[in-house]
Structure 1
Amino acid sequence: MRAHKESHLLICICLFLFSFSSHTSSTSSLFCRLQRQFNLNGMQKFGDVILGGIFEINFFSAFSEHFTSEPNDPICYGFDLVGFRQAQTMAFAVDEINRNSQLLPNISLGYSLYDSCGKLGISFRAALSMTSGRGEPFQLNQSCYRNPPVLGIVGDSSSTRTIAVSSMVSLYRVPMVSYFATCSCLSDRSRFPSFFRTIPSDAFQVRAMLQILRRFNWTWFGLLISDEDYGRHAARSFQADLAESGGGCLAYLEVLPWVNDVAELRRIVSIMKKSTSRVVIVFAHQSNMLNLMEEVIKQNVTGLQWMASEAWTAAKVLHTPSYMPFLAGTLGIAIRRGEITGLREFLLRIRPDNDTLSSQDNNNLVRVSVGEKERLCTGNEVLRNVETEFLDLSNLRPEYNVYKAVYALAHALQDMMQCVPGSGPFKGQSCAISCSPTIQIIYYLQRVNFSTEFGDQVSFDENGDALPIYDVMNWRWLPDGRTEVKNVGEVKELASKIVDLILDEDKIFWNFESKKPPRSLCSEICPPGTRMARKKGEPVCCFDCIPCSEGKVSNETDSTECTNCPKDFWSNLRKDHCVPKRMEFISYVEPLGISLTTASLFGALLCTIVLGIFTHHRTTPVVRANNSELSFLILLSLKLCFLCSLLFIGQPRLWTCQLRHAAFGISFVLCVSCILVKTMVVLAVFKASKPGGGSLKWFGAMQQRVTVVFLTLIQAAICTTWLVSSSPTPHDNTEYYNDRIVVECVVGSTVGFGLLLGYIGLLAILSFLLAFLARNLPDNFNEAKYITFSMLVFCAVWTAFIPAYINSPGKYADAVEVFAILASSFGLLLALFGPKCYIILFKPEENTKKALLGRGTPKS
């Protein structure tokens, strides 16, 4: 905010001076002179065309703070070798272009380079001097007011200073090409119509960092910014991109003070220490980082993964052993490194002394005043043999951008000079849009497209931004204690606006025990089968993982919702896939099916054994008593009853649904009708033994067969009518359970099924009543007792069956029916044939006619 106010104030002053100067020149004289000359430190070289430059050659400056008199010129001190090397790189580029016969062959370039001393006010004075002259009188042209003395300006190294300076020089339509100002706000063409830069904007730097965050799945991170335009615009871009992409959350956002405010830094570091975030992103300058690291060391905040903006990625002042336990492993975004052939030899020709640094070039003496005496060397050294940061050209990054900026202006000037009148790009195919060449230069600068010797393409988009590309750097802590900043990849923006990240992860040094990337999550990743549930009052990255409910799935990590499975599908145990619903029926391989199958086969086998016993002893009185033919027929029907229960086991099919009830109904009617006839024969025989009894003639062998067949045919007719009119069919029932399908046989006609069971019940009740009436017959006709007991068991089983069948869901209804069939069949088999088999096998002496006829006396 302070920087904004200062820049706005200076712009207002400039506009006032400009308007006042224009007014006096138009009213009094055709000559104009600046009212005050700025005494600035700088280097000049004469030429046909002058390029301006603003560089930070000194760190600090001292201003007069007395407001009772005219202020003195500022005094700069604290010589910056890197800034001076950047200025010399521009001088070298101009010299190289002048020696190039292909580029601007008939024009010599000169330069005016000024020292900003790291202060906005001085940068503003330098820009104003380059756009309005150094105080020499100049004559106004009749058609144009005046052309600025410089064709374009290369600078500045600070976003804040560049914002202010570019706002002013745009009034003169002077192009300004920055090599280090990254603020995304400078891409606003309405505010900065003549601004260009050879360094990507912070907007792309933010997108590049977000790509790295996504690569390592870091969704929970802190952001520290410097208290000026560079940091604040970076924070806005960061928050905007996060909101747009939803790729992560800020654990905290803190502003680093410019001065060493210990209390504020202590508060910020305390927040970092308490936070669960393991990743810290810093958009600040190396001075901010130096102050911050002192407090980090005091509070011993380790275990953090630092991410550095281009402002401090390559800051060697931070590459010290005391900082490495904390900063080792840092990943940073760095300006694209380049190589400039011949620059080292150019720098070696500089002749330093106590007061000036000069370079002899083409018989023109280039001088640099350093404001205040500062002994850099004795003046007798051979620079080629001196190891100094000034001659370390292994990482030419800002210098490479300076080099490209000078060449961009030169190529734009060349394109302008090659324009042929009548085929120009302006109105009427002219080569000039106005009398000012700087306006034409802006047009051609917007369209330059060339490649450097290093192989990088240089061009500008519609906002004046260069093709975005950064190097990804990693701070390695070597075993011998040294620090190495290694290039581990690059990030660039493709034509489709997609950020392409190329990263060699095997080369990255991680300052953690695991030697792997840290985990930085507010909440653990929600695995498939769960969904994220936001924690109230916390960022979107903080959530709970809630398992999907039954019938819903999520097959992705961090899913925001669970989706319903299709109708015939259900969620698996992990809730990450929909699987076909399990088909439920009485299976032959499940315990229930195995038990029922075993019981059914055992009953059929038992009937076969009894049938074999009766066949083998068919001539004995016990077998022959009361029509052995009916006994054999009952055994056959009981065997069919046991076997028909197998139709209820296994997946229901159309034929099994149709056959199961028909076979069951007919088999039981055959059995019960035989028992009924047997009972009637017992009663007829008893009545025939009494005086006057002649009913036996109605119950001969033929009549018994006809009765059994007739009664059975009635059941067959009921079953046939049922199957024809409304046949039972298999049905997939999804109403009983959500997670499985019950495959059941729908009876079709309830009336038909009721008639089938009712007819069996009617015959059973009739048999029971007749047998009950014959229960007190003489012992030699006591078979009626067994019939009574068997019918009692039969009726009890089927009476209990009806409510149990109705209340049993799914396959258990079939299981109840099978159990009723088996229970009643076993009851009939054991009650009717158990006593006879006992006599045949274990009491053969009672299996005689004499014994059978002579047993007991009639009961009163």
Structure 2
Amino acid sequence: GAHLSSSSMQVANLLRLFQIPQISYASTSAKLSDKSRYDYFARTVPPDFYQAKAMAEILRFFNWTYVSTVASEGDYGETGIEAFEQEARMRNICIATSEKVGRSMNKKTYDGVVRALLQKPNARVVVLFTRSEDARELLAAAQRANVSFTWVASDGWGALESVVAGSEAVAEGAITIELAAYPIKEFAAYFRNLNPYNNSRNPWFREFWEQKFKCSFHTQDCSRYSLKTGKFEPESKITFVVNAVYAMAHSLHNMHQALCPNATKLCDAMKPVNGKRFYKDYMLNVNFDAPFRPADTKSVVRFDRYGDGIGRYNIFNYHYMDGRYRYQKVGYWAEGLILNTSLIPWAETSIPVSQCSDPCKKNEIKSMQPGDICCWICIPCQPYEYLLDEFTCMDCGLGYWPNETLNGCYELPQEYIRWKDVWAIGPVTISCLGFISTLFVFGVFMKNNDTPIVKASGRELCYILLTGVLMCYSMTFIFIAKPSTEVCTLRRLGLGTSFAVCYSALLTKTNRIARIFSGVKEGVQRPRFISPTSQVVICMALISCQLIIVIIWLLVETPGTGKETEPDKRYIVTLKCNNRDSNMLISLTYNVLLIVLCTVYAFKTRKCPENFNEAKFIGFTMYTTCIIWLAFLPIFYVTSSDYRVR
């Protein structure tokens, strides 16, 4: 003995003075594992920290992370609930409130404990580490208050019918733990045959008989009762009582065989028995199959180095079935939790929720409250962020977007004009028509290359001009092509150069006409550099200036591609060339200069003789060109956000 841990401690403190070993069958306080204080104590039951661990694993299994606790005053309840709180912290389970109950409490104080539990409405699960009588009074108080919780109780409640009697409704759904044991039919038969007349060796049996049958031996009316009739519910710890007796017997037997091998009685080596040697060398090393165990089960009786039994527990669920309330075994714990949730009614329909805060949605993170790991505020992440963990949103970065599970990012498809798009079909069609028309004109010039009209028009400059027009139409295809390093290089090189070819030819032509008629008016000699060869050289020199500008640009800003997104539309990624818009406009500044000069000379030659009336058409062309370019510059900037319009 004894049964209660507090009683065993007192007995152990006395017996250690005489080096007398002790085996308890029910004392489970973790303090009794301290060999510096209880160095002759052993037990066939495991210490409470095993069932505290089992209870914490049950809470974690059902994701009950915010619970209240109630413990009985004394070593059993206080050390048990302390061990549970330690296991709970390891599993991120928070304690909403901790209450204590004691034998000196009355109904009002139990009612106060229930009211204290109700102060934490989110903690719907209550963990009990109490004696059976305290659990019974607590259920009665909950019955009076007409409230119910999901109880998770230690072996103090176990599977006792006496605890739930009269409070079955509020106890429904409870999960309780009991030391793994099995019924011993031999003991049940032995006990049922006992009566006050054949069990005179037990001085308390007559008192038990009078209390059981509400009779008195003074009136001789107790002899008519028998234990063979009526309901008999043996104590679940009988298995451990039998194991304790057999453990002591096996230890003595092993010691006798070792010290008195050829004797049937005690030899001098065991007179007196060395209690310290008996405990350490024989009792702690005992190992045998448990007596009276069912044939289909395995159960070994042994102790660890602290004198504790092996931790094995049955898990019960108290519920209504087949017209009555009953305990149903739903699982087992032996260094690990095994639960059959199909046997728990509420686990199949709706598992009770006991959490401080509601779970966050898929796209939300937890903002923890200071000093609390179970209460939080849910904060949504931005659409372009994924969940690095349950507390952190992380930006995917430009060009990436969170996947459906928000645990990572994927690369967004890049947007650019494709040949089949409507935005491409229109410009390509116009360019093709212009290309064909220009080639037709080119062919007409080639066919009439030696005619006076073609020669008089400055055929060399006309060919350069037509080449520039073809280049302008060709740029449509380069700008619609998928951006790449090569394409971006051609865009920079071709855009300004194609314009420069056209306007250089026009400037050379208008300049030649202006210089000729200016010289005629002034009566000077024939102007220099008006021959076809000179005109081509001048035109090429003007074009080369643009080429030099473009080459410098290519060296300063290496061509390539880049991804671009708008702050309010990060889900759209545009594949573009990496040149800046300002640089593009700077490269076209030279073309603007050519246009301005062309327009000036066209204006000067507007009144030329009829044979040189092409100057009028050039003037008209340059006036419209200036208007178009004045509109082009602001449009270029305004449409910079839409690659299709640009």
Q: TM-score range by the shorter chain?
A: 0.7 to 0.9
Counterpart residue type for residue 674 of structure 1: A
CA, structure 1 residues 253+412, in 2 after alignment: closer, same or farther (shift >3 Å)? same
Distance 1:628 1:611 in 2: 15
Which ranges of structure 1 fall in alignment gaps of 5 or more residues?
A: 1-154, 423-429, 494-499, 820-860
Q: How does 1:77-226 map to 2 (within 5 A)?
A: 155-226=1-72
Deviations 1:378-426 (A, max 9, x none): 4345654x1332xx45xx620001011111111111111121589xxxx
Which residue in the other structure is 1:467 paired with? 310
| Worse overlay, 437-446 or 461-470 | 437-446
Distance 2:627 2:455 in 1: 25
CA, structure 1 residues 589+791, in 2 after alignment: closer, same or farther (shift >3 Å)? closer
Which ranges of structure 2 fall in alignment gaps of 5 or more residues?
A: 214-221, 262-266
Which residue in the other structure is 1:101 paired with? none
Which residue in the other structure is 1:333 paired with? 177
Q: Which has the higher contact order (CA 8 A, sep 6+)?
A: 2
Residue 610 of structure 2 corresponds to residue 764 of structure 1: no
Distance 2:596 2:330 in 1: 94
SS of the counterpart of 1:168? helix
One of 565, 579, 587 as aligned partner of 2:416: 587
Distance 1:545 1:708 in 2: 70
One of 344, 355, 358 as aligned partner of 2:198: 358
Which residue in the other structure is 1:608 paired with? 435
Q: TM-score, normalised by structure 1?
A: 0.63
8 Å contact 2:416–2:575 — kept in the other structure?
Answer: no
Q: TM-score, normalised by structure 2?
A: 0.82
Distance 1:815 1:682 in 2: 42
SS of the counterpart of 1:271? helix
Distance 2:551 2:373 in 1: 68
Which residue in the other structure is 1:834 paired with? none
Distance 2:454 2:142 in 1: 107
Counterpart residue type for residue 406 of structure 1: V
SS of the counterpart of 2:20? coil
Instruction: Give, in angstroms, the shift of residue 639 of structure 1.
Output: 3.9
CA, structure 1 residues 814+640, in 2 after alignment: closer, same or farther (shift >3 Å)? farther
Which residue in the other structure is 2:472 paired with? 641
Counterpart residue type for residue 264 of structure 1: T
Deviations 1:489-522 (A, max 9, x none): 11112xxxxxx00111111132x9x733211110
CA, structure 1 residues 704+375, in 2 after alignment: closer, same or farther (shift >3 Å)? closer
Which residue in the other structure is 2:103 paired with? 258
Deviations 1:569-595 (A, max 9, x none): 8562779333255586x61159xx957
Distance 1:549 1:527 in 2: 13
SS of the counterpart of 2:210? coil
Q: How does 1:48-67 map to 2 (within 5 A)?
A: none
One of 379, 383, 406 as aligned partner of 1:546: 379
CA, structure 1 residues 271+447, in 2 after alignment: closer, same or farther (shift >3 Å)? same
Distance 1:672 1:307 in 2: 91
Instruction: Give, in angstroms, the shift of residue 529 of structure 1.
Output: 4.8
Instruction: Give, in angstroms, the shift of residue 658 of structure 1.
Output: 2.3
Q: How does 1:766-805 map to 2 (within 5 A)?
A: 766-777=597-608, 780=613, 782-793=616-627, 796=630
8 Å contact 2:388–2:394 — kept in the other structure?
Answer: no
Instruction: Give, in angstroms, the shift of residue 317 of structure 1.
Output: 1.9
8 Å contact 1:532–1:543 — kept in the other structure?
Answer: yes
**What is the root-mean-square deviation of aligned Cα atoms in Å?**
4.3
CA, structure 1 residues 659+611, in 2 after alignment: closer, same or farther (shift >3 Å)? closer
Residue 277 of structure 2 corresponds to residue 440 of structure 1: yes
Distance 1:289 1:194 in 2: 32
SS of the counterpart of 2:68? strand
Distance 1:547 1:433 in 2: 76
Which residue in the other structure is 1:20 paired with? none
Distance 1:323 1:242 in 2: 28
8 Å contact 1:225–1:254 — kept in the other structure?
Answer: yes
Counterpart residue type for residue 619 of structure 2: K
Distance 1:231 1:189 in 2: 21
Q: How does 1:554-633 map to 2 (within 5 A)?
A: 554=387, 556=389, 559-562=390-393, 572=402, 576-580=406-410, 582=412, 587-589=416-418, 597-598=424-425, 600-608=427-435, 610-611=437-438, 626=457, 633=464
Which residue in the other structure is 2:289 paired with? 451
Residue 184 of structure 2 corresponds to residue 323 of structure 1: no
Distance 1:674 1:625 in 2: 15
Instruction: Give, in angstroms, the shift of residue 274 of structure 1.
Output: 3.7
Q: How does 1:292-441 map to 2 (within 5 A)?
A: 292-302=138-148, 304-320=149-165, 322-350=166-194, 352=195, 356=196, 358-359=198-199, 368-371=204-207, 374=210, 376=212, 378-380=222-224, 383-384=227-228, 386-389=229-232, 392=233, 397-420=236-259, 435-441=272-278
Counterpart residue type for residue 544 of structure 1: I
Which residue in the other structure is 2:359 paired with? 525
CA, structure 1 residues 210+672, in 2 after alignment: closer, same or farther (shift >3 Å)? same
Counterpart residue type for residue 338 of structure 1: Y
8 Å contact 1:767–1:791 — kept in the other structure?
Answer: no
Which residue in the other structure is 2:219 paired with? none
CA, structure 1 residues 771+403, in 2 after alignment: closer, same or farther (shift >3 Å)? same
Instruction: Give, in angstroms, the shift of residue 260 of structure 1.
Output: 4.9
CA, structure 1 residues 720+562, in 2 after alignment: closer, same or farther (shift >3 Å)? closer
CA, structure 1 residues 548+798, in 2 after alignment: closer, same or farther (shift >3 Å)? closer
8 Å contact 1:349–1:359 — kept in the other structure?
Answer: no
Counterpart residue type for residue 154 of structure 2: S
State the number of aligned residues.
Answer: 616
Counterpart residue type for residue 285 of structure 2: R
SS of the counterpart of 1:418? helix
Counterpart residue type for residue 336 of structure 1: A
Instruction: Give, in angstroms, the shift of residue 333 of structure 1.
Output: 0.6
CA, structure 1 residues 644+520, in 2 after alignment: closer, same or farther (shift >3 Å)? same
% identical aligned pairs = 24
Which residue in the other structure is 1:845 paired with? none
CA, structure 1 residues 470+432, in 2 after alignment: closer, same or farther (shift >3 Å)? farther
Instruction: Give, in angstroms, the shift of residue 634 of structure 1.
Output: 3.5
One of 316, 322, 344 as aligned partner of 1:508: 344
8 Å contact 2:503–2:594 — kept in the other structure?
Answer: yes
Residue 407 of structure 2 corresponds to residue 535 of structure 1: no
Distance 1:319 1:357 in 2: 34
Deviations 1:615-667 (A, max 9, x none): 79989999999557756753542342243254345654222232221122321
Instruction: Give, in angstroms, the shift of residue 279 of structure 1.
Output: 0.6
8 Å contact 1:641–1:668 — kept in the other structure?
Answer: yes
Instruction: Give, in angstroms, the shift of residue 208 of structure 1.
Output: 0.5
Counterpart residue type for residue 655 of structure 1: E
CA, structure 1 residues 685+465, in 2 after alignment: closer, same or farther (shift >3 Å)? same
CA, structure 1 residues 713+210, in 2 after alignment: closer, same or farther (shift >3 Å)? same
CA, structure 1 residues 681+790, in 2 after alignment: closer, same or farther (shift >3 Å)? farther
8 Å contact 2:364–2:379 — kept in the other structure?
Answer: yes
8 Å contact 1:529–1:576 — kept in the other structure?
Answer: yes
Q: How does 1:744-755 map to 2 (within 5 A)?
A: 745=577
CA, structure 1 residues 770+815, in 2 after alignment: closer, same or farther (shift >3 Å)? farther
8 Å contact 2:418–2:424 — kept in the other structure?
Answer: no
8 Å contact 1:583–1:743 — kept in the other structure?
Answer: no
Which residue in the other structure is 1:486 paired with? 328
One of 725, 730, 743 as aligned partner of 2:560: 730
